[in-house]
Amino acid sequence: MAEAVWTTLALASLTTLILLVLAAPLGWWLAHGRSWRREAVAALVLLPIVLPPTVLGFYVLIALGPASPLMVLLHPFGVRTLAFTFWGLLIGSVIYSLPFAVQPIRSAFQAIGPRPLEVAATLRASPADAFFSVAVPLARRGFATAAVLVFAHTVGEFGVVLMIGGAIPGKTEVLSIRIYQLVEALQFGEAHKLAAALVVFAFLVLFALLVIDRRAGAPRP
Amino acid sequence: MSGARTLTFRLNGRFGEFVLDCAAEIPGLGVTALVGPSGSGKTTLLRCLAGLVRAEGRVSVGETVWQDERRFLAPHRRGVGYVFQEPSLLPHLSVRQNLAFASRRAAPGEGPSLTEVAEMLGLAALLERGPERLSGGERQRVAIARALLSRPVVLLMDEPLSSLDLASKAEVMPYLEDLHRRLRLPVIYVSHDAAEVARLADRVVRMRHGRLGPMVEVRPERRAAKGPLTLMTPGQVEALARAALAAGIEPAAAEEA
């Protein structure tokens, strides 16, 4: 069971880290303008919200299998497949939680408005400088929301993980899958403990989110 | 800071229904007031000069070309100081950090230090505050100090007092007059308040439907007497306004004759 907790935490932390880095430029680009191209990308980013996890998991599984063109590229490096590995799971999680990172960051960037960036430009800050010294700090609430949502969403994921991971203890068996297997084996006592722990966790996460929201609304000390 | 340089521009642009078509040579010293009714394009012209908005044409300061047919310098490479109409402090930074944002990125060269500029604009006691704990007048003073600390080669001020109440205007005005005496760079000051123009401007240009009128010098002795704006009755303000507008628009030579 400790293994499942560890795998879950590692997966959720890494997914959060990767998505914050990935969603910052993507959210920035999506926040500026409403061209066809941008809306197409925005729709693509939102897909994981509406698709059944099995569909997503199925395609990721195929993409990570030994025959996929993606994996063929990695064959020279001694990697034949990422299916049923922790790294495969990580890739699936990143795609699955992408909308939960991009949406809050995109809205936070949009909420800044053009003025602070114009101010930065007239004070000789280059666009990259202004991005890091003005846009990111002003969008910090969006980043905090994204981090909490992604972490929680990854902990709570089941379908994708089941499709890609294969529930190998110590490698790809996360908590949600562990509970499923405990129930199948009629070990209700164990299942209860884990399930209750996840309920408490989910509550704390949502509570934290609301607190972030409240603090952002209050004036600075 | 190198000697004062003339700001020369010729700009054409279409922004929806609005057409901007103007050219001028702004002398390298003193305050040039840009007056005109709202919607005449004053802000658009300033934004084009700063490079925040693209218009066709040519802009140069002294020997340096900011834009012509072939190139367009991004705003952060132009060295414009810009004071926006509503105080636009970076909300995540304290007063000191707002000022340091500018001084850290300032052009290399000589110039007053952060402390000196803060002193000049009466901000020494406010440095550790956040922008949300400042009055409107204080915020605008910080914005002006910040613009100066970036060591601009041209200072553009877009109705810096118009969002303030009368008391705050009266509070900021003496600082502007003080700066006027010290600054050695071209300043364009947009306003439609004739009293402000009368007290600050060395010359006045009128803008109408995106076009500039002739530039008119305001002789120093004709500038309005200094005094707190709040002590004037509305009638006096109006009288001053009329006198100032007249001073700005009519050629000085015609009046001497």
Sorted by where each starts, the structural domains of chain A and their CATH numbers stand as 2-215 (1.10.3720.10)
CB contact under 8 A, A122 and B80: yes
Burial B163-202 (b: 16+ CB within 10 A, else e): ebeeebbbbbbebbeebbeebebbbbbbbbbbbbbbbbbb
Contact call for residues B187 and B33 (beta carbons, < 8 A): no
Domain span holding position B147: 87-152
Instruction: Evaluate whether residue B39 is within a structural domain.
Output: yes
CA distance linking residue A137 with residue A96, whole number of Å: 26
Contact call for residues B151 and B109 (beta carbons, < 8 A): yes
Interface residue A98 vs chain B (CB under 8 A)? no
Establish how many alpha carbons lie within 13 A of residue B157's alpha carbon, considering only the half-sphere containing its beta carbon. Answer: 32
pLDDT at position B171 is 87
* Of B82, B107, B132, Cβ closest to residue A122: B82
* Of B51, B79, B88, Cβ closest to residue A119: B88
Check whether residue B12 and residue B136 sit in a common domain. Answer: no
pLDDT at position B248 is 55
Establish how many alpha carbons lie within 13 A of residue B102's alpha carbon, considering only the half-sphere containing its beta carbon. Answer: 33
CATH number assigned to the domain comprising residue B33? 3.40.50.300
Q: How far is B101 from chain A (nearest CA, A)?
A: 8
* Percent of chain B whose pLDDT exceeds 70: 83
Q: Does residue B231 have a pLDDT over 60?
A: no
Per-residue DSSP letter, B86: S
Contact call for residues B167 and B12 (beta carbons, < 8 A): no
Check whether residue B237 and residue B176 sit in a common domain. Answer: yes
Check whether residue B234 and residue B159 sit in a common domain. Answer: yes
Q: Which residue of A has its CA nearest to B80?
A: A122
**Does residue B217 or residue A102 have the better pLDDT?**
A102
* Of B91, B102, B132, Cβ closest to residue A123: B102
When pLDDT is averaged across residues B70-93 and rounded to a whole number, the result is 93
* Of B82, B90, B106, Cβ closest to residue A134: B90
Check whether residue B97 and residue B212 sit in a common domain. Answer: no
SS3 B149: helix
CA distance linking residue B241 with residue B199, whole number of Å: 10
CA distance linking residue A162 with residue B69, whole number of Å: 60
Instruction: Evaluate whether residue B2 is within a structural domain.
Output: no
Contact call for residues A160 and A93 (beta carbons, < 8 A): yes
**Chain B residues with CB within 8 Å of chain A CB:** 50-52, 74-77, 79-82, 84, 88, 90-92, 101-102, 105-107, 130, 132, 146-147, 150
Average pLDDT, chain A: 90
Binning pLDDT at 50, 70 and 90, where does residue B4 land? low
CA distance linking residue B96 with residue B129, whole number of Å: 8
Instruction: Evaluate whether residue B200 is within a structural domain.
Output: yes
pLDDT at position A205 is 86
DSSP conformation letters of A56-110? HHHHHHHHHSTTSHHHHHHGGGT----TTSHHHHHHHHHHHHHHHHHHHHHHHHH
**Cβ-Cβ contacts under 8 Å, B130 against chain A:** 220
Check whether residue B144 and residue B47 sit in a common domain. Answer: no
CA distance linking residue B82 with residue A121, whole number of Å: 10
* Of A124, A125, A133, Cβ closest to residue B79: A124
CA distance linking residue A133 with residue A117, whole number of Å: 10
Interface confidence: ipTM more than 0.90:
no
- Min mean pLDDT across B41-45, B135-139, B251-255 is at B251-255
Q: Which residue of B has its CA nearest to A219?
A: B132
Domain count, chain B: 2
How many CB atoms within 10 Å of residue B237? 15
Interface residue A216 vs chain B (CB under 8 A)? no
According to DSSP, the residues that pair with B156 across neighbouring strands are B82, B188
Instruction: Evaluate whether residue B1 is within a structural domain.
Output: no
CA distance linking residue A42 with residue A99, whole number of Å: 9
Interface residue A3 vs chain B (CB under 8 A)? no
Instruction: Evaluate whether residue B108 is within a structural domain.
Output: yes
Instruction: Evaluate whether residue B207 is within a structural domain.
Output: yes
Contact call for residues B88 and B143 (beta carbons, < 8 A): yes
SS3 B35: strand
State the residue for tokens 């063929």. A72
In terms of Cα–Cα distance, which of B88, B97, B170, B38 is closest to A112? B88
Instruction: Evaluate whether residue B65 is within a structural domain.
Output: yes
Q: Does residue A100 have a pLDDT over 50?
A: yes
Last residue of a domain, one of B132, B152, B172: B152
When pLDDT is averaged across residues B28-42 and rounded to a whole number, the result is 91
Check whether residue B171 and residue B248 sit in a common domain. Answer: yes
* Of A116, A121, A133, Cβ closest to residue B76: A121
Q: Does residue B239 have a pLDDT over 80?
A: no
* Of A115, A124, A137, Cβ closest to residue B88: A115
Per-residue DSSP letter, B56: E
Q: Does residue B234 have a pLDDT over 90?
A: no
Distance from chain centroid for Cα B58: 21
Q: How far is B197 from chain A (nearest CA, A)?
A: 24
**Cβ-Cβ contacts under 8 Å, A134 against chain B:** 90, 92
**Cβ-Cβ contacts under 8 Å, A140 against chain B:** 92
pLDDT at position A220 is 46
Instruction: Evaluate whether residue B22 is within a structural domain.
Output: yes
CB contact under 8 A, A133 and B101: yes
Check whether residue B59 and residue B177 sit in a common domain. Answer: yes
pLDDT digits (tens, 9 = 90+) for A1-55: 788 889 999 999 999 999 999 999 999 999 987 789 999 999 999 999 999 999 9
CA distance linking residue B135 with residue B232, whole number of Å: 23
CB contact under 8 A, B88 and A219: no
Structure-block tokens of residue A49? 């919200």
Q: Does residue B107 have a pLDDT over 90?
A: no
pLDDT digits (tens, 9 = 90+) for B46-64: 999 999 999 999 999 999 9
Select the residue from A118, A119, A123, A138 to test the B interface by mutation, using most B Cβ atoms within 10 A.
Answer: A123
In terms of Cα–Cα distance, which of A172, A207, A184 is closest to A83? A172
Express the helix, strand and coil content of chain A in percent, nearest 5 each.
80, 0, 20
Contact call for residues B131 and B95 (beta carbons, < 8 A): yes
Q: Which residue of B has its CA nearest to A138?
A: B92
Check whether residue B51 and residue B178 sit in a common domain. Answer: yes
pLDDT at position B226 is 52
**Contacts with B, A 140-169, CB within 8 Å:** 140
- Min mean pLDDT across A75-84, B30-39, B60-69, B202-211 is at A75-84
**Cβ-Cβ contacts under 8 Å, A138 against chain B:** 90-92
**C-alpha distances in Å from residue B49, one per residue of A10, B19, B38, B46, B79:** 52, 15, 18, 5, 11
Check whether residue B137 and residue B207 sit in a common domain. Answer: no
pLDDT at position A21 is 96
Structure-block tokens of residue A3? 């293994």
For B144, list phi and psi in degrees, rounded to 5. -70, -45
CA distance linking residue B171 with residue B163, whole number of Å: 13
When pLDDT is averaged across residues B23-30 and rounded to a whole number, the result is 91
Check whether residue B161 and residue B59 sit in a common domain. Answer: yes
Check whether residue B104 and residue B139 sit in a common domain. Answer: yes
For B8, list phi and psi in degrees, rounded to 5. -115, 135
Check whether residue B92 and residue B131 sit in a common domain. Answer: yes
Last residue of a domain, one of B115, B134, B152: B152
CA distance linking residue A96 with residue A164, whole number of Å: 12
CA distance linking residue B64 with residue B43, whole number of Å: 23
**Contacts with B, A 111-130, CB within 8 Å:** 115-116, 118-127, 129-130
Last residue of a domain, one of B107, B129, B152: B152
Binning pLDDT at 50, 70 and 90, where does residue B126 land? very high
